[in-house]
Amino acid sequence: MNVIPAIDLIEGQVVRLLAGRFEAKTVYDKDPVALARDYQASGLGELHIVDLDGARYGRQENGNVIRRIVSASTLDVQIGGGIREVSQLERWFDAGVMRVVIGSLAVIKPELVKEWLQKFGPDKIVLALDVTLDGDGVPYVATHGWTRSAGMTLWQCLDLYAPAGVRHVLCTDISRDGAMTGPNIELYDQLVDQYPQIQLQASGGVRAIGDLKALRATGVPAAISGRALLDGKISIEEIASFLPAE
């Protein structure tokens, strides 16, 4: 299983939110470019970056920082937050970004995003499907910075995109994000079982190396870790067991 570290940015600073709430923000005294280099030096090969200003306001305010990260490292970078136009995708790909993450737009304008999948190919776009569970445990997709329900289940959304050849999906259980309560193993186990063709990125709740091992046991291809790495709950030595053999 591939471990992908996450860097969330607000006004150029490394931050973490609790369950997506901007008022529940933790700011880290870490230079984002240096942090990316540290992840690369530890042997990790990919990086997930979220421009939270872009996600909140629809304008990518951290572009310069992200471009510095891309140029200063050899990490395969995927970026999300505030991407609304095809021209933005083209600029990021030209800048060396490996994949672009599409969130609310994937639910609000699926035909447009399907066109992008066709234009750029399934390995260049990640669908970020953030979910809340109803009283019966059914995952419903949320949009607009996790503030609105799309009225669509996760399964309905994946079935919608299957004919378009979607390959990369980042799924976050919103209630677990930044909460350090452990990932929703049951959700990801079900997702892997029902959609084995998807290169799933599990996100939300990772708090220790045992959580990554539990995710690996489900067959999840990749897991994203933000706060646990930033807070030192998972050490670089522990991550080494997930690195590919040389």
Catalytic residues: 8, 130
Alpha-carbon span 147 to 36, nearest angstrom: 30
Alpha-helical regions (H) of 121-208? 154-161, 185-194
Alpha-carbon span 109 to 157, nearest angstrom: 12
Angle subtended at Cα 85 by Cα 53 and Cα 204, rounded to the nearest 5 degrees = 45
Which H/E stretch holds residue 236?
helix 236-239
Residue for token digits 């809340």? 132
Q: Are 174 and 148 in contact (CB under 8 A)?
A: no
Of 44, 88, 45, 38, give the one whose Cα is nearest residue 63.
Answer: 88
